[in-house]
Structure 1
Amino acid sequence: MLPPPALFELPSPFITEPGRVLLLEPPEADADTLSAALRDERYARPFVIDDGEHRSLYFSLRLIQSAMRIRTPNALALRYTQMMMLFVLFIPRPRRMALIGLGGGSIVKACRQHLPGTALTVIELDPDVIAFRDAFMLPPDDARLSIRQGDGAAWLETAAPGIDVLLVDAFNGAGLAPSLADARFLDDTAARLARRGMLVINLAGDIGQYAGLISAALSAFDDRVIVLPIRDDGNHLLFAFNDPAFRPDWRRLQQQAHAAQARYGLDFPAFAEALAHAARLRLAQREAAARR
């Protein structure tokens, strides 16, 4: 295995984000040139800002990709990543999980810590993102974890069926990859998931731009879709359920949420209540219909 790349460090050129910037650049690179490119948003690679307490991954300063508390590297620092973990209320012990989009690996680390019987496969398109895995204290690959460079939609086409949970959080500077937002990807997902499997997609930005994706999910999963707004982050999460008999017992799930809160240290009771509220409001169906 090749040693991890040495990171180029320079003082943060951003007034609103003090600290140091970590870059995948050779040691002979010119710091002034790189600082100017970062300030002007001409820098074309991902970068990390470390303020001594948090380490955050960016493609552009306007949109944070991932964040890690340095003292507690396995904790989920962003609200939407915490709420993506709602799948454990429906599938407490998944055998196989797949994640499309690595980012700083916060969800990977949380799943690896709390789900010791789960095999995790991660697909990340950008090799530069994977190159930051040591900066975010990601463990090496082993029998339970495999991080691969490649296109997530292409990987899914040939993946073995029986995936219990598929999480999608795959953004770059231009947004969600088009190959992950079309009907073919949603149909492939339904075919590769286990009978009671789940899909969770992070939708960042204006929900209106995802109307086509939501409609495709409603079709692929026969209306078993919940769209949950994340007020703190400005995100929405899409939950799709493969089980044809999916009929959530929200009272029982609320009881499970209290047990999960003790195990994971996350506010699952509030998360479950928000998910139940979104299901009752049928936000997915309303959003898809409003954009037709």
Structure 2
Amino acid sequence: MSAAPPTLFAMPSPFDTEVGTLLLREPPTAKAGELRARLLDGSYGKPFVVDDGELRYLYFDTRLMQSAMRLAAPDALELRYTQLMMACLLFVPRPQRVALIGLGGGSLLKFCCSRLPAADFTAVEIDADVIALGEAFLLPPPGPRLRVVEADGAAWLAQADGGIDVLLIDAFDAHGFAPALASREFLQHACDKLAGKGVLVINLAGEGERYAGLVAEVLTVFDGQAIVVPVPEDGNHVLFAFRERHFEPRWRWLHNHARELRARHGLDFPALAQKLERAARQSLARDLAGRRGR
């Protein structure tokens, strides 16, 4: 078991359901009793980590878990939706530029850095406290091919250079998906900044009706070239949108290629490819978008 970072304040979890040790970005002189009261009444206002001895979880509050890391395998993708997001490698197997908006516990960052050592990677996170808690999740240090930027994701993307091969969006606050990233303006920037065969991947959590408008905007901006895949284990959907004009997945080739990716990266890419094809044939993206007007 990994020891808690000495720079974080540790205390027993006050919650009935999230048991273990809490790791907080607080000074060593902080009073546990006061923190306990604020955590329980919902007035704490900062992200925190729960360590149960096997897993570490990132929370903004206990209603929505943001990230998970298994201490015995810190670079693995513990949550199913993060595994599905990396199915983008079926379409861009060797990306040169990867950008992530919404750092969370850094699961996607660590997977990309360990499995795609030749890629240039930028992670953008608006919350300084989330970045500071990265040490609890054993994030690699910044270097020539890795940058962690404290910024608003929409503002960063608007001024970013084009040619991004994979753009991952996993941005949430205490209330749900970051609203600034659901606008047509942001999605148009995303499309414009992708490389010619680039892929946009968005994690969507909660009820489908809450993000039906976003799915509809993606279909408009990307000329209908999008696939939405459900993740029932996590209660999420993952959206894939494709910059390539007249994009048409070659499913037989993708299923063969999935076996190569499984051998290279360890994830069950054949199962992910099957989920993608099933969702594409069921036109789930258009079904979700149609809920906007109901």
Per the TM alignment, residue 42 of structure 1 is displaced from its structure 2 partner at its CA by 2.0
| Residue correspondence of structure 1 range 33-72 to structure 2 within 5 A | 33-72=34-73
Residue of structure 2 equivalent to 1:202: 203
The runs of 5 or more residues in structure 2 that have no matched partner are none
Contact 1:226–1:283 under 8 Å retained in 2 = yes
Question: What residue in structure 2 maps to residue 140 of structure 1?
Answer: 141
Q: Is the 8 A contact 1:89 1:256 kept in 2?
A: yes
Equivalent position of 1:222 in the other structure: 223
Matches of 1:79 and 1:227 in 2, distance apart? Answer: 15
Distance apart, 1:177 and its partner CA: 1.4
Q: Secondary structure at the match of 2:253?
A: helix
1:5·1:131 contact (CA, 8 Å) conserved in 2? no
The 5-angstrom pairing of residues 132-281 of structure 1 reads 132-281=133-282
Structure 1 counterpart of 2:261, one-letter code:
A
| 1:108 counterpart residue number | 109
- Rounded to whole Å, the distance in 1 between the matches of 2:103 and 2:290 is 32
Q: TM-score, normalised by structure 2?
A: 0.96
What's the CA shift for 1:38? Answer: 1.4
Displacement after TM superposition at 1:270 (Å): 1.2
Superposition deviation, residue 120 in structure 1: 0.3
Letter in 1 for 2:226: V
Unmatched 5+ stretches in structure 1:
none
Q: Would you identify which runs of 4 or more consecutive aligned residues in structure 1 move more than 3 Å?
A: none
Cα shift at 1:5 = 7.9
Secondary structure, counterpart of 1:102 in structure 2: coil
2:88 match: 87
Aligned partner of 1:122 in structure 2 is: 123
The secondary structure found in structure 2 opposite 1:139 is coil
What are the Cα deviations for residues 43-81 of structure 1, in whole angstroms up to 9, with x where unaligned? Answer: 100000011111110001121101101111100110100
1:290 maps to amino acid: R
Contact 1:68 1:136 in 2 (8 A): yes
Q: Distance in 2 between matches of 1:116 and 1:191?
A: 26
Preserved contact between residue 105 and residue 136 of structure 1 (Cα < 8 Å):
yes
- After superposition, the Cα gap between the structure-2 partners of 1:193 and 1:42, relative to the gap in structure 1 and judged at 3 Å, is same
Deviation, 1:39, is 2.0
Aligned CA RMSD, in angstroms, stands at 1.1
Deviation at 1:11, TM superposition (A): 0.5
Q: What's the CA shift for 1:271?
A: 1.2
Tell me, in whole angstroms, the C-alpha distance in 1 between the residues paired with 2:236 and 2:224.
21
TM-score normalised by structure 1 residue count: 0.97
How many correspondences in the alignment? 289
**Residues 209-247 of structure 1: per-residue CA shift (max 9 Å, x gap):** 111111110011000011111010000011000000311
Partner of residue 8, structure 1: 9
In 2, the alpha carbon distance for the partners of 1:252 and 1:169 equals: 28
CA distance in 2, matches of 1:287, 1:105: 28
- Kept after mapping to 2: 8 A contact 1:7/1:24: yes
Aligned counterparts of 1:92 and 1:271: Cα–Cα separation in 2: 14
Contact 1:5 1:24 in 2 (8 A): no
Q: Deviations over 1:70-109 (max 9, x none)?
A: 1111001101001100011100110001000000101100
CA distance in 1, matches of 2:196, 2:105: 30
Higher alpha-carbon deviation: 252-261 or 235-244: 252-261
Q: Deviations over 1:168-202 (max 9, x none)?
A: 00011011111100100111111110010000000
The code of the aligned residue for 1:187 comes to Q
